[in-house]
Structure 1
């Protein structure tokens, strides 16, 4: 996914964080690239390092379409939740697939619906790459 890197910051209590803009929102998450990266556009892979548990950190979306926004110490990612044939889950985040680890199987009827994931910002990582 192409994002605009606004800045990379380090606070004493956190890993390196990137403030990024996407076409559907802005937020700050863990940066796994060069800590001296200049502002600009970067292709990144998104990863989530937290098990997804329906009703705890995954809920039905209040609106449709991809979205990202900060909310307290969390980041809210909105996308379409899909389940793979082997029981794993994937968040379709504006055409980008983010593999999810499930704490428990998804409830009946949740697959292929719009959801919001509430994840601590340090547990969402961006890995920049070059095409």
Structure 2
């Protein structure tokens, strides 16, 4: 996914965080690239290092369409959720696929549904790459 990096910063109690903007929202997440990265556009891969538990950190979305926003201490990702055959799931965030580990089974009617994930901002990482 192409994001606009606004800045990279570190506080004494946190990992490196990137303030990013996408066409459908803005937030701060863990940055796993160059800590001296200049503002600008970067292709990134998203990873989520938190098990998904339906009803706790995942729920049906109130609206459709991709979204990224800050939600207090967490980041809210809105996308289409698809269970996989091996018991995990994939969140389609505007064409970027994010592999998710499930702690519980998803309801049967969740496949292809718009959902929101509420993930601690330090448990979402962006890995920049060059095309």
Q: TM-score, normalised by structure 2?
A: 0.98
Is 1:114 aligned to 2:119, yes or no? no
Is 1:62 aligned to 2:70, yes or no? no
| Superimposed CA distance per residue, residues 24-57 of structure 1 (whole angstroms, 9 cap, x where no aligned partner) | 0000000000000000000000000000000000
Q: Classify the secondary structure of the residue corresponding to 2:109.
A: coil
Deviation at 1:87, TM superposition (A): 2.2
Q: 1:53 is matched with which residue?
A: 53
Q: Classify the secondary structure of the residue corresponding to 2:122.
A: helix
Q: 2:87 is matched with which residue?
A: 87
Aligned residue runs from structure 1 range 20-35, under 5 A: 20-35=20-35
Q: Which structure 1 segments of 5+ residues have no match?
A: none
Residue-pair matches, total:
131
Q: 2:10 is matched with which residue?
A: 10
Distance 1:70 1:10 in 2: 17
Distance 2:66 2:122 in 1: 20
Q: 1:101 is matched with which residue?
A: 101
Superposed structure 1 runs of 4+ greater than 6 Å apart: none
User: Please, what is the CA RMSD of the aligned residues?
Assistant: 0.6
Structure 1, 44-53 or 105-114: larger mean CA deviation: 105-114
| Superimposed CA distance per residue, residues 66-85 of structure 1 (whole angstroms, 9 cap, x where no aligned partner) | 00000100100000000112
Deviation at 1:86, TM superposition (A): 2.1
Q: 1:42 is matched with which residue?
A: 42
Q: Classify the secondary structure of the residue corresponding to 1:82.
A: strand
Q: Which structure 2 segments of 5+ residues have no match?
A: none
Distance 1:84 1:16 in 2: 31
